[in-house]
Each structure stands twice: as C-alpha cells, then as structure tokens.
Chains A and B, each alone.
Chain A
Amino acid sequence: MNPVPDIYRILPEVILTLTGVLVMLADASLPPGLPRRSLGWVAATGTAVAYLTSIWQLSLPVGTGFYATVETSPFTVFFHALICGIVLVALLLSLDSLPEDSHHQGEYYALVVFGAVGMCLLTAAVELLVVFIALEISSIATYVLAGYRKETGRGPEAAIKYFLLGSFATAFLLYGIALIFGATGTTQIYEIAHLVPTAQNHGLVLASLALMLVGILFKVSAAPFHVWTPDVYEGAPSPVVALMSTAPKAAAFALLLRVVYEMFPTLHSIWAPLLWVVAVLSMTVGNLAALRQQNVKRMLAYSSIAHAGYLLAAFAGAGSSGVAAASFYVAAYAAMNVGIFAVVTVVSGYEENLPMIQDFRGLVYRSPLLGGLLIFFLASLVGIPFTGGFFGKFYSFSSAVGGGAVWLAIIGLLNSGLAAAYYLRLAFATAQRPSGETGPKHGYQPRVGVAVIAALLFAVVATLVLGIVPGEVLHAAQTGAHTLQPPPPAATEVIGIASTKPLVP
C-alpha cells in the first residue's frame, strides 16, 4: 500500500488557508473605495472546495499524518463536512446582510475562513499541542468577529468578554495538557489512552481530565460554564452568531468526543457522572433562563445552552452509539440553529432594529416566507417529528436510555417540553395578527437576496433531510463513531504502524 502523502491528510485546511490568505491579500491590494463584496464569493467558493475535498478524503485509508498529529477518518470527514457546510451558509448569509459600505468586509471574510481552518484542524488533531493550536486559531478568529460591529457599544463589549473568559478557559485546557504530559510523558492521544490505565500518578490524570473538561465545556457553552453566551450573542452581529453558535461548538464537541471516548475511555466511570450533571444543569439552566428573555438573540443563546445539555445526554451512551448520537445531534443542531439565525439576521437586519420578541409579531403577514421559515426552524428546535431536531433528540436520548440513564432521558424530555413554551411564544408572536404598532414603523424592509435564499434553502433542506431520511447522515456518524473506538491494546499497535509509515520514505 502506498503511503498517503501527508499533505492529503490536511488538504481541506490547506485550501481554506490559501483562500483566507488570498482574500486577505486581495483586500489589502484593492483600492480603498472598491466594494469588497466579491471577496465574500471567493471565500464561499474556497469553502465549497474545502467541503468537497473533505468528502474526497473518505477515499483515503484511515490513518494519521505529520508524525501522527493529524488523522483522517470518517469521523474527521463528518465534522469537516459539517463545519465547511456551516461556514458556507454563514458566508452566504453575510454576503447579503453586511452593509455595502463596510470597510472591513475583506478582513471579515478572511477571518471567517481562518476560523474554519482552526475548527477543521481541531477535529482532525490527535496530538494535544496541535489541538491547542487549532483551538487558538479558531477562537481568536471568533473573538475578533464577535466585536465586528465597532460602531455599537455592545460589539466590543461582547468581544472583550468572550476573549477574557475564552482565554481563561483555554488556559485550563492547556494546564490539562501539561498535566497529562507529566503523567504519561506524551501528548499523542492514542499513546495517552494506552498509558492512562498504567499511569503511576493517577491523581495527575484525574486533574488533567477535569481541567480539560472545563476548557472544552466552556467552548460548548455548557452550564455552569455558560455565562458568556447571552452577552456575546447579543453583541455580535447575527451572521457571526449563526456561525459561532454552531461551527466552533461542533469542533469543540468533536474534541470532547475524542477526549472522553478515545483518550480516557478507561475513566468512563468518572467522566460519565460529571457529564450527566453538566447535561442536566445545562438544559435546566438554559431553558429556565430562556423563558424569561424578551430579546430574541438572548433567548436563542440560552436555548443553545439547553441544546448543549441535550447533546451531552448522548454521552451517557456506551461507546460508538453515544458518539454516533452526539455527532448526529451536532449536525441537526447546526442545521436548525444556522437556519434560525439566518432568519433572525434577515428580519432584524444588521443594525438590529427589531431585536425583541414583540417586534416579530405579525411576521407571517409581513413576509410569509420568513415567517414560515422561522416557525419551521422553531418547530425543529422544539423537536417536532419530521424535522432534524426530532431525530437529534431521539438519538441522543435513546443513547442515554441505552446507556442506562433513564432519568437523564426523562429530565431531558421534560426539559424539551418546557423549552417548547418559549419557542412557541416566538412562533405564535410571528403568527399573530400585527397590531399596527409594531413592525413596519421601523421602516426596515428585510432584504432577501440570492445569497440569503441559498443560505436559507441549504438550512431548510438539511433540517428536513435530517428529519425525514436521517439514515445517510446517521450512517456517516456511525461509521465515524467506529473509527473513534477506544483503541484496544492490539489496535494501538496497528495504529502505531499506520502512523509510523509515512515517516519511512
């Protein structure tokens, strides 16, 4: 078997990086007055190519490259495709919703693409230092994007808050990496998994696990590490929220899956109860807080916390079924959440003149398309059958029930009933007759261009496909899950050989 050239293992990342560099250079060299909108199309094209490339990576044999630091497997392809898809939708959305005269459009598109590089790399990395670098690449890009609306006070506030708390969390992760290196003498995930059961200083391993969990759970905004979410979502521009509430979370969940199922499978009895508690806390705190929100973006921020909780319920499942359920949920959550933020972006506009729930009153009458889509995505978030949200919850909770966590499933489903209350408040406001006082008085007419239509269509089709014929995606998630097995002693040898192969010229 011919060794796979290392570069193939990171081809999507390479393409995204080149796209980002191209956009950045073009932005710098174009004359100042020229509109930068076309750069968005360049970025979108690059992302689409990266998407196709990551699908192509399926034809590569499963294995690692670059001295066993990055891996390609169905698992990484699943998340690559997902992240590229989200980024593509977010870019399309931004094309129509960023103001024409914005001077920073070029760097915006470049940052989105660079962020995508980090997220993709994060899902592919099997070496903790690469993990850390990837996380930093993606985080720094999102910190800057969160503060993109410099003209309002909330933009920079959101960015600073996100940055400070985010760096703090990353530091936790880094300490975790340092400790596990101290305990096992390596930062390669497979080798760590192999060495953990025999590690002499068990306390060090446990401390490392705890610190890494804190760092990752912050990134997925699970309670009690969620406090940054509502403020950041409220301050950041809506298309950025569409991106950062989904793609970095998808990447972080991929990392979490890798850490708990691949690196610490032997500590299942320790991390499973922890995640149980975090799951219950996240959904309960998220839903209770969301019930009280009047601002749509804040409400959706708390809803995303709750969804992190539903997703964590899948981790109660044993082995590959848990991984598959979690991966599927990430995809379903991404599809519907990107969709709903896309609608919110179009409705409330870049300036966000209409941020409150009562501003959405009568939307169905003003714009049947947007109103209908909003209700559709809300139905998916509630978990109505034949939408992606339903099967997401279904797989997640059946994984929990299968893993014996019946109470977790019951709490989760009761929570999703509770959540229906605030989703429906928004849905029914949209369906209610306009009172004449709200809405058009702001004079804002939603602009629905080709790019936005494409973005919305993408999200709707994805949500429907996940809800009606989830088989394909689930199959992909399961194939991915099987490559994320905790390596048994014999299997580590195989992986070891595979990883050393590229070293031999």
Chain B
Amino acid sequence: MAINESILTLILLVPLAGAVLVALLPDHGKLPAWLALLTTLVSFGLTLHLPAHFVLGQHGFQFEINRPWIENPAIFYHVGVDGLSLWLVVLVGLLAPVGVLASWNAIKERRKVFYALFLLQQTAMFGVFISLDLMVYYGFWELSLVPMAILIAMYGRKDGPRAAIKFFLFTFIPSAPLLVAILWLYTHTGTFDFVQLRLLIASGSLPAGALCWVALAFLFAFAVKVPVFPLHGWVADTFSEAPVAMAMVVAGKLGLYSMLRFHVGLFPVQARQIAPVLVALAVIGLLYGACLALVQRDFWRLLAYAAISHLSLITLGIYGLTFTGWDGAIYQILNHGVVDAALFLLLGILETRYATSQIDAYGGLAARVPQTATLFVITSLAMIGLPMLNGFVGEFLILSSTFSGVSHGWAIAATVGVILGAAYMLWLVQRLFYGPESELAARPAADLRPGELAVLWPLAILMLVMGLAPSLWMPSIENRMGAPILKGSTALPDSSLSVSFQGEGRQ
C-alpha cells in the first residue's frame, strides 16, 4: 500500500516539479505549454487514483500521512482526504489540463512565466484541499493568492495591476484575523492538527466567548474568498482581468470547501449560531448576483455576478446545516467547477475570435459557428439547472433541504433567484447567438477547432453523466458523514441535524 501513502504527496509534488522544470527550460515556442499539459495530465491521472482506491464506509481520513515537520511550534505535514475533499481534488486535477488547453492560443507571450505560475497554483490548490494541519493549510491558502495575483497583473486585459492589487488585498487582509485565530487555537490547545482540534473544541474545554470570535475570524476569511454578499467587491474586476484559465481554476472552490471543513466542521456550535445570518446573506447574494448579471454589458462581468449568485446558492446549502444540503453543496461545487470551466472556455474562445467581450457587439452567431452555439447552449442549460443535467441535482438538493430544513420563505426566495439565473443565461445565449446577425458575426471566423472540441465535448458529456447518474458520486461524498462533520455535530443539542441523509436526490 505504499502508493496509497505517498499518492497525496505525489499529487502535490508533480505540479511543483513541473513548475520548476518549466521555469528552468528555455522559453522556446510552445515547449512550456507542452510541458504544462504533460504535467497536468499526469497529475490528473494521479488524482484519479484517489476515487479508485477510496474505501467507502471507512471512517476518518484516507491516504493519510502525518509526519512532524517543524518541532516548535508543532507543525505536522498532515494530509488526507475524505468524501468532502476527494472529488474536489479530482476536480482540480481535471480542470488543470483544461486550463492549459484554454491558454494554448490565448497566451502568446511569456509562456514560461505563465505556465510555471499556473502549475504553482495547482500545487497550492491541491495543498488547500488535502491539508489537515491548520498551519500547512494556511500556508497553501496564502500561497494560492500569489500566482493568481501576478498573472492578473501580467496578463490583465485593461488595467491588470489595479485589479491584481484589489484581488490580493481583498483576500489577503481577511486572512490576518484567520492567522491570529489559528495562533490563538494553538496557544490554547498546543496543536494545529484538524482532527485533534475538532475533538478538543467539541469537548467544550475552550472558553466559549473567545471561541465565538475565533470562529468568526475563520468565517470572515472564507466568506470573502467565496464571496458571500456583501464581501464580493473584488470578483467582477478579477474575473474580467484574470487570464481565462486562472479564473476558471480558482473560482469559488477554495472558500466553500474551507467553510465546510474548517468553519462548520471545526465550530459546529458557533456555525449554528451564525447560520441564520449566512442563510439570509446567501439568499440576498443569490438574488443580488442574479439581478446584476441581468444588466451587465460585458460577458466576463456577467459571468462574475452569475458566479456570485451560484456560489451564494451553495453557501445556502452549507448553512442550512442539513445533511442533504451539504451533499447538494458539495455536488454543486463540482458542478459549478465543470460548468464554469466550460463557460470560461467558450467565452474565452469568443473573445479571442472576435476581440471583444461586449455582449451588444454580438448577435446571430449560431448560423456561423454552430458547434460553439450548441456547446454554449448545453453548458448554459446545465448552469440553469435543467433536469438531466448536473446543475439540477445540486440545486434540487439544496433548495429542497432549505425548504424542509430551514424555512419555506428562504427556499422560495432562493428559487426566485434560480429562476432569474435562467433568465440572464438564456438572454445571454439569445444575445450572443441568435437574433439579427451583427456586423461581428459577418466576419469570417473559425468554428471550434479539433483541440477545443476535444476539451469541450468531454466536459459536456460529464455534465450529462453527472446529471443522470449522481449515484456514481454521492456514496463517496456521503462518506464524509462518517468522519469530520458528524462527530462534531452530534455534540449539538439541536435535532435538525438528524434529518436523514438518505437524501431525496440520491436516486
């Protein structure tokens, strides 16, 4: 079983080694791109090892390694995955080659810098999802900002450096209280280890008043990253300036995962106290993002507000504090990752072909580029949550759990938001591809190239499979029940957590 022990370390090291290799070799033609593609494919292959050897029903973390790293303070290299992080790791692995292919033609200069930083970002993302030592986790969390910020500055469409500083400060400053909170936990418990901390916190030996602030510091850092309304100020600029590949790799996942693992997972009592606030903010964000998406003229900004809306829905699923909601939330993170990747890819292709991101300039493209139109429609429908496609499963689980577990009112409001989501997406499809043919459409432009099709169709098929057979994913996602969250949660006096996790959407 040696491979099971070292697999996570390998997953971390392969992109890092690729980054170093890209940085050392000359910046010659497409060499960096090929190297990056090779590296990301290898690391995707490695991530697939995880679900293949994941033992269902086994409690606790799997593929775990726990070795001392620094003696004092006691920092351990502790990594492992459970049902919560398993598929997220695979998702990051999947999106990496997609990201490389998305940049294949879009990045024309300084390929070496781009791909080296892109691969470094991969390492940071994997690190966040598998770290079980709070300091190691924090390290990767911070590290994940750097390549992103530099790439926004270097490749920004209009004013890169400004957007990069905005992005960095928005996400860096909230991690200051996070670090203080982690340090506070360490000085009171003597450990950074997630598993031990969870037990210690659940045992109630820490002062409750201070713990409340600690939990709040954790939540604040994550909420900015998600982003939760009203902390979303950085999103629109980041989305419209960041290179396509980076935006799609980074969007959403880190913050939502961290909420589930390190806020709800570590501080169940405090999470319960603050949950009503977050439910309200999530629904507001859902409606607010959707409304703003309706009036955007630039499709990157539209996508940014759409993301706020969708991520708010997932936040709602998390802070509904029901098992069904959590299943739906995790599943929806995966869906959102896949769908968003496809959308970013398609819009990036449109932008490189037609050199504008203004929606008004488009129109009537469908006849000229039918393949693009088809795939765009499929992706949009998946995003809207059409039954049979993946978005439906997650949205249904979240909305139904909100309806039965939280309150009818919020569920109805959230459903309105989802309907608005359908409105702006369908309207976008109409304005881009149908209607009277614009000047732009008359320009000769190629439809999707074989390389692009080879990325997009598998994503589209994945959307369909995830929509038709969620049972392929759900059992392992539910495996987190055995471990991290349930144990902490059973300490709760409240009964709403006893909602059966044999969720409705399981079949």
| A residues lining the B interface (CB < 8 Å) | 364-365, 368, 375, 379, 382-386, 390, 394-395, 397-398, 401-402, 406, 409-410, 413-414, 416-418, 420-421, 424-425, 427-429, 431-433, 469-471, 474-475, 478
Which listed residue (B150, B164, B177) contacts A410, Cβ 8 A?
Answer: B177
Say yes or no: A432 contacts B153, CB within 8 Å: yes
Which listed residue (B73, B110, B161, B176) contacts A417, Cβ 8 A?
Answer: B176
Residues on the A chain within 8 Å of B73, using CB: 395, 398
Give, as a whole number of angstroms, the nearest-CB distance from B458 to chain A.
34
Q: How far is the CA of A123 from the CA of B143 in the complex (A)?
A: 36
Say yes or no: B179 contacts A413, CB within 8 Å: yes
Q: Does B184 make an interface contact (CB < 8 A)? A: yes
Which A-B residue pairs are the 5 nearest by beta carbons?
Answer: A413-B176, A417-B173, A385-B139, A428-B153, A428-B161
Q: How far is the CA of A402 from the CA of B73 in the complex (A)?
A: 12
Known: A431-B150, A474-B72. A425 touches B187 (CB 8 A): no
Give, as a whole number of angstroms, the nearest-CB distance from A181 to chain B.
39
Kindly identify, within residues 134 to 180 of chain B, every residue whose CB is under 8 Å from any CB belonging to chain A: 135, 138-140, 142-143, 145-146, 149-150, 153-154, 160-161, 164-165, 168-169, 172-173, 175-177, 179-180
Which listed residue (A397, A431, A470) contacts B180, Cβ 8 A?
Answer: A397
Residues on the B chain within 8 Å of A402, using CB: 183, 187
Residues on the A chain within 8 Å of B52, using CB: none
1/0 per position for B179-197, CB-CB distance to A under 8 A?
A: 1100110110000000000
| B residues lining the A interface (CB < 8 Å) | 69-73, 110, 113, 135, 138-140, 142-143, 145-146, 149-150, 153-154, 160-161, 164-165, 168-169, 172-173, 175-177, 179-180, 183-184, 186-187
Report whether over half of chain A's contact residues are helix, strand or loop; otherwise say mixed.
helix
Say yes or no: B161 contacts A429, CB within 8 Å: yes
Q: How far is the CA of A368 from the CA of B183 in the complex (A)?
A: 37
Say yes or no: B143 contacts A386, CB within 8 Å: yes
Say yes or no: B142 contacts A385, CB within 8 Å: yes
Residues on the A chain within 8 Å of B177, using CB: 410, 413-414
Give, as a whole number of angstroms, the nearest-CB distance from A251 to chain B.
26
Which listed residue (A368, A379, A384, A414) contacts B176, Cβ 8 A?
Answer: A414
Which listed residue (B139, B153, B173, B180) contacts A386, Cβ 8 A?
Answer: B139
Give, as a whole number of angstroms, the nearest-CB distance from B127 to chain A.
10
Residues on the A chain within 8 Å of B173, using CB: 414, 417-418, 420
Say yes or no: B183 contacts A428, CB within 8 Å: no
Residues on the B chain within 8 Å of A413, using CB: 176-177, 179-180
Say yes or no: B161 contacts A385, CB within 8 Å: no
Give, as a whole number of angstroms, the nearest-CB distance from B245 to chain A.
17
Known: A429-B161, A470-B70, A474-B72. A384 touches B146 (CB 8 A): yes
Residues on the B chain within 8 Å of A427, using CB: 150, 153
Give, as a whole number of angstroms, the nearest-CB distance from A372 to chain B.
8
Give, as a whole number of angstroms, the nearest-CB distance from A496 to chain B.
31
Residues on the A chain within 8 Å of B138, using CB: 385
Q: How far is the CA of A488 from the CA of B359 in the complex (A)?
A: 76
Give, as a whole number of angstroms, the nearest-CB distance from B142 to chain A.
5
Q: How far is the CA of A316 from the CA of B154 in the complex (A)?
A: 40
Residues on the A chain within 8 Å of B150, using CB: 375, 427-428, 431
Q: How far is the CA of A414 from the CA of B221 in the complex (A)?
A: 13
Say yes or no: B179 contacts A397, CB within 8 Å: yes
Residues on the B chain within 8 Å of A431, using CB: 150, 153-154, 161
Say yes or no: B183 contacts A397, CB within 8 Å: yes
Q: How far is the CA of A394 from the CA of B139 in the complex (A)?
A: 11
Q: Which residue of B lies closest to A398 (CB)?
A: B183
Q: Which residue of B lies closest to A379 (CB)?
A: B146
Say yes or no: B72 contacts A421, CB within 8 Å: no
Interface centre among A365, A385, A406, A413 (most CB of B within 10 A): A385
Which listed residue (B154, B164, B183) contacts A424, Cβ 8 A?
Answer: B164
Residues on the B chain within 8 Å of A418, using CB: 173
Residues on the B chain within 8 Å of A417, using CB: 169, 172-173, 175-176
Q: Which residue of A lies closest to B170 (CB)?
A: A417
Q: How far is the CA of A475 from the CA of B142 in the complex (A)?
A: 25
Q: How far is the CA of A201 from the CA of B24 in the complex (A)?
A: 66
Q: How far is the CA of A333 from the CA of B169 in the complex (A)?
A: 22
Say yes or no: B168 contacts A424, CB within 8 Å: yes
Q: How far is the CA of A390 from the CA of B183 in the complex (A)?
A: 14
Residues on the B chain within 8 Å of A384, using CB: 142-143, 145-146
Residues on the A chain within 8 Å of B184, using CB: 401, 406
Say yes or no: A428 contacts B72, CB within 8 Å: no
Q: List 25 A-B contacts (CB under 8 A).
A: A365-B110, A382-B172, A385-B140, A390-B142, A398-B73, A401-B183, A401-B184, A409-B183, A410-B177, A416-B176, A417-B169, A417-B175, A424-B149, A424-B153, A424-B168, A424-B169, A428-B160, A428-B165, A431-B150, A431-B154, A431-B161, A432-B154, A433-B154, A470-B70, A471-B71
Q: How far is the CA of A425 from the CA of B153 in the complex (A)?
A: 10
* Given A409-B180, A420-B169, A427-B153, 6 additional A-B pairs, CB 8 A: A382-B172, A385-B142, A394-B135, A398-B186, A470-B70, A474-B71
Say yes or no: A432 contacts B70, CB within 8 Å: no
Q: How far is the CA of A414 from the CA of B175 in the complex (A)?
A: 9
Q: How far is the CA of A303 from the CA of B177 in the complex (A)?
A: 21
Q: How far is the CA of A395 from the CA of B143 in the complex (A)?
A: 18
Say yes or no: B180 contacts A410, CB within 8 Å: yes
Known: A413-B177, A470-B70. A421 touches B187 (CB 8 A): no
Residues on the A chain within 8 Å of B153, using CB: 424, 427-428, 431-432
Say yes or no: B176 contacts A410, CB within 8 Å: yes
Q: Which residue of B lies closest to A395 (CB)?
A: B73
Say yes or no: B165 contacts A425, CB within 8 Å: yes
Which listed residue (B69, B139, B145, B180) contacts A406, Cβ 8 A?
Answer: B180
